[in-house]
Amino acid sequence: MRVEWPTVWLVAGCYLVWGLGITVAAVFWLPGAIALTALTIALHASIQHEIIHGHPLPSRGWSQALVFPSLNLAIPYLRFRDTHLAHHQDANLTDPYDDPETNYLDPEVWAKLPVWLRAVLSANNTLIGRLLIGPVVAQVTFMAADARAIARGDGRVAAAWGWHVLASAAILGLVWLSPMPVWAYLVAAYAGLSILKIRTFLEHQAHERARGRTVVIEDRGLLAFLFLNNNFHVVHHMHPRVPWYRLPKLYFANRDKYLTRNFGYRYGSYGEIFRRYLWRAKDPVAHPLHHPR
């Protein structure tokens, strides 16, 4: 495998702009600095996703070293890696138990939840809810599952969180030494996580056939860049070793094939998604096709 230089330069550019966000920009205009930092935090998570799939260096260890500290402070890279690779078992996509990235619940579990919690999760299934409370809902769910794993004696999960705490302390130390207040960085981190929720909002749908569960969003704008073209999601799931900068060309050269494969699960842009789902849910929280075990 050769070095994928576009990704290497992207990593360098991401850290450079992040550094400018917490220093120079914070001196001149704090709201703009928060926005700039939030964008780089979202981009950094997308780069982490790229590294998980074996890019951009021949050495996986050196590639992971490029992005190991999670700028969002929320998700340990090692846990992101392990859960995301489990998510790529396409036969399990959207399964409430076997897909660690799904937002669907077992209908029986859903029916037993208190009314207030069902209201929160229903709001979280609208795009505006995903933006405003999505990071909190996801973080609480994620950390609760990992806490249970650690309580069962899972040393791998415990180690991932231990390294994450150290890396996050280093990031916050840099921020504390910078002109940006720590509270402002925490706002930027939350905003960065909210941006990422736009990408994951409808990446996968309930469908009887596994190949019909993964979306394509034919967007080439700012969000597509921040997500490193992961909006061409069915292409990524079929070819996870293809680098981000080749996904659009691969899709448009074989558009009919991919749309046939995923049964036409497609949107023209993120603007279309905002118009259709900002205030209403696309899917129920209870998995509509889940079969009791």
- The per-residue pLDDT for 226 is 98
Q: What count of residues does the chain have?
A: 293
Tokens of 115: 């009314």
Task: Give percent of the chain with pLDDT exceeding 90.
Answer: 98
Distance CA(233)–CA(90), nearest Å, equals 12
pTM: 0.96
- Asked if pLDDT for residue 293 goes beyond 90, the answer is no
In Å, how far from its chain's centre is CA 146?
A: 17
pLDDT at 290 (0 to 100): 79
User: What burial class does residue 134 get, using C-beta atoms within 10 Å of its C-beta: 0-12 exposed, 13-18 middle, 19+ buried?
Assistant: buried
Interatomic CA distance for residues 130 and 285, integer angstroms: 13
Q: pLDDT value at position 282?
A: 93
Average pLDDT, whole number, for the chain?
96
Using one digit for the tens of pLDDT, what is the confidence trace for 33-69?
999 999 999 999 999 999 999 999 999 999 999 999 9
Contact 126, 281 (CB under 8 A): yes
The closest alpha carbon to 203, from 90, 106, 83, belongs to: 90
pLDDT of residue 254 exceeding 80, the answer is yes
266-267 vs 216-217, strand pairing mode: parallel
Burial 233-271 (b: 16+ CB within 10 A, else e): bbbbbbeeebbbeebbebbeeeeeebbebbeebebebbe
B/e letters for 164-183, b = 16+ CB within 10 Å, e = fewer, are beebbeebeeebeebebeee
Mean pLDDT of 245-267: 97
Average pLDDT over residues 153-173: 97
214, 234 Cβ separation under 8 angstroms:
yes
